[in-house]
Structure formats: C-alpha cells, structure tokens
Amino acid sequence: MRWSVLASGAAWLAVAGLLSACASTPGAAPEKRVAMAPISYNEIPGWADDRHGEALATFRRSCPKLTTGPDTRIVTDGGEKTITTAEWKNICDSAAAVKAGDARAARLFFEDNFRPLVVQSPGKFTGYFEPELRGSKAPSRLFTVPVYRKPSDLTDKPYYTRAEIESGVLKGKGLEIAWVQDPVGLFEVQVQGSGRIQLAEGGTMTLGFDGSNNRPYTAIGAVLVEMGVMKREDATWPAIRDWLKRNPQQARDVMRRNERYIFFKDTRTSAPIGAEGVVLTAQRSMAIDPTITPYGTPIWIDTKRPVARKPGTTEPYRRLMISQDTGAAIKGPARGDVFFGAGAQAADWAGRMVGDGRAIVLVPNKT
C-alpha cells in the first residue's frame, strides 16, 4: 500500500476500466471498459530479451491466491470474461511444471497461456521501495517517535488526524510496537507502505500495513511546490526528503498537511508483503489499481527508469511485471508503481522514477 509524494495517478489518467476482480451482479455498477488492442509477442520491443524466469517465479507466488479466491472478472478486447479458479489452477499447474533455469520454457509459458493486449491509454509509471530505520522496542532519549499498531476502536470512519496522533492522542494505550529516531524516516515508511527497523537490541522488525486513519491523503510534494519551495519538476522524493531534514520545524507542519496516518504490524517476515498477501519481488512486483486490474495479472511495461548516479538521465525500462500490490495514488488502467526492493539504489530509483510509456496486459488466452 503506497502513496505518491506528488499527486494521484488520477491527475494524469481518466479512470477507465480494464480488469475487474468481481463478477457482475444484479444492481451492480456498470461494467468498466477501456480500449484495448491485440498485439503479437513478436511486436513487443524487448520481449525476447527479458528474463522470463524471474517473472514466472514472481507469478507463482500469486498462484495460491488465484486458485483459492473468487473467480476473476476480466475485461478484454471482446468484452468481460470470467476466469474461474479451476482455470487459474490449470495455468498455475503449467507454471509449476517449468523447470528452474529453463529460460525458453518460462517464456513459452507466458506465450502459451496468455495473450497480450495493449491498453489504449497513456501509461504512467512510478516506483517505491522498502525504507530502513534505526529503532528499538523500548523508548529512550534516542528513540522517541512511536510506531503504532492499528487501534481496536478503528472503524471505516475517519479517525484522529496525523497531527492529533503525533501530538499524543494515542499515547498510553499500549499501541506502540517500536520507537524510531527519525520522524521524516517514519513518514517515508508510511508513504511507501512498508519498511524495516534495525533494532538496537539486535535483529530486524519488518513493518507491514495494518490500516489507516481513513483521512484524506495529501501529496506533500504538491504542498512544497505550492509553497514555492521547489519547482514541480524538481520535487522528487530525494529532494523532498532533503528539504524536510534541513527544515525540521517547517517539516512537521508540512507533513501534517497529509492527514492520512498509517498503522503497522510486525509481519515477522524477512521481506515485504503486498496487498495481495504475497511476498514482493524487487523489479517484478508492481502496484496497480485493483478496482481495474486483478492481483496476479502479468503486465508488460515499456517505460524509462532513472540512470543510477546520473541525475536527469533515463534509460529504457522494459520488463514483465506481476500485479501484487496497490496504493491510494495508483489509479487508472495503465498506472503502475514498480517495487524496487530495499537499499540505497532502490531508494534512488524509486525516488526519481516518473516515466511515461505503455502497458500491455497479459490475459488468459481462453478469453
């Protein structure tokens, strides 16, 4: 679960339907539709050069969800179709039969079981990563910023604002799961939706999304642009983070302009888990709009990525992703947020990536 530091994808794309995870029922909302066009795999630049085995391994992680969940309603170039769990099982059985290291078989798996459809809307792709913080399971002079679990009285109605929570309204209720040193770092973890705490006691705590206060999200990049602090084209997350750290007093007020507050749980895993409920894979898992694209859907993206250690330069970024996560700012049929993993390089890529391009959705070929 994550949010853009600048603005929602809805500002770039009109929300039109592509894929829906729910079957139509009497009285349900009208079917979502979007223009899609068939394309052959031979016409996809970079397809033959991708490492399909990585995408296949990532897809397999979605299979337990696809084969045990509800039937999937998919919009194709021929209208809405239903993919049953039994049909997903056939596809997943084929995936399981591919031997590790067999690159040709991995590629043929996707070509044999899916057909590619180009989304006829301009794509917009950003990135996110898993931040790391220093912290402790007990408060101290060094670690003063609490990390809260979901309160028991939290409902689907608006809860306390970020300002109220940071001012101590939840203090003393036993909701703290850790304390960290850096309020900007914790805000960053909340934006990204997950993170890790390197504990002073030793070991690591992996933070996973545990709910929100149901307050509106405000992109603080847009706030800083409005304040005249930076130009929109310069408002990357690294630049925003640097400004926040250099201006701690103003930073608190700016961050509180975003009323949304995220609660976390200790997932007790060594890797982040996406909204689908599966472990995310760096540069293969992608956050999408689940009201349009079902989790587990393979999507080929053709966009650009920032070049490492070369600000202002980009390089082609073409690869097969698997839809396994979501975020409040990820809206639209050709909107994707690439998970880049953890570490300094992942943070740099994610913080600077805003690329146009196109999305090619792979739908089961029975449709």
Same domain, 256 and 306: no
Is residue 341 one of the residues assigned to a domain? no
Same domain, 202 and 283: no
Burial class (CB in 10 A: 0-12, 13-18, 19+), 60: middle
Same domain, 85 and 202: no
Same domain, 117 and 54: yes
Helix (H, G, I), strand (E, B) or coil at 145: strand
pLDDT over threshold 90, residue 107:
yes
Is residue 348 one of the residues assigned to a domain? no
Domain boundary, last residue among 211, 231, 266: 266
Same domain, 257 and 279: no
- Mind listing the pLDDT tens digit for each residue in 202-257? 999 999 999 999 999 999 999 999 999 999 988 888 899 999 999 999 999 999 99
Domain boundary, last residue among 266, 298, 318: 266
Q: Which domain holds residue 247?
A: 128-266
Is residue 25 one of the residues assigned to a domain? yes
Same domain, 183 and 56: no
- Mind listing the pLDDT tens digit for each residue in 163-203? 999 999 999 999 999 999 999 999 999 988 889 999 999 99
Residue 55: which CATH number? 2.40.40.10
Is residue 170 one of the residues assigned to a domain? yes
Same domain, 137 and 231: yes
User: 264: part of which helix (H) or strand (E)?
Assistant: strand 262-266
Comparison of pLDDT for 33 and 331, the residue scoring more: 331
Comparison of pLDDT for 20 and 61, the residue scoring more: 61
Tell me, yes or no, if the pTM score tops 0.85.
Answer: no
Same domain, 253 and 280: no
Distance CA 46, CA 135 (A): 43
pLDDT over threshold 70, residue 25:
no
Comparison of pLDDT for 220 and 27, the residue scoring more: 220
Distance CA 221, CA 237 (A): 8
Is residue 325 one of the residues assigned to a domain? yes
Distance CA 195, CA 264 (A): 9
Pinpoint the alpha helices (H) of the chain: 52-66, 85-96, 103-113, 162-166, 183-192, 220-227, 237-246, 248-256, 344-352
Comparison of pLDDT for 12 and 340, the residue scoring more: 340
Domain count, the chain: 2
Is residue 3 one of the residues assigned to a domain? no
Quick one: DSSP state of residue 83?
E
Is residue 346 one of the residues assigned to a domain? no
Same domain, 24 and 37: yes
Least confident of 3-7, 29-33, 234-238: 3-7
Same domain, 286 and 258: no
Domain boundary, last residue among 266, 295, 326: 266
pLDDT over threshold 50, residue 128:
yes
Q: What is the pLDDT at residue 17?
A: 26
Is residue 344 one of the residues assigned to a domain? no
- Mind listing the pLDDT tens digit for each residue in 290-311? 888 899 999 999 999 999 878 8
Residue 177: which CATH number? 2.40.240.50
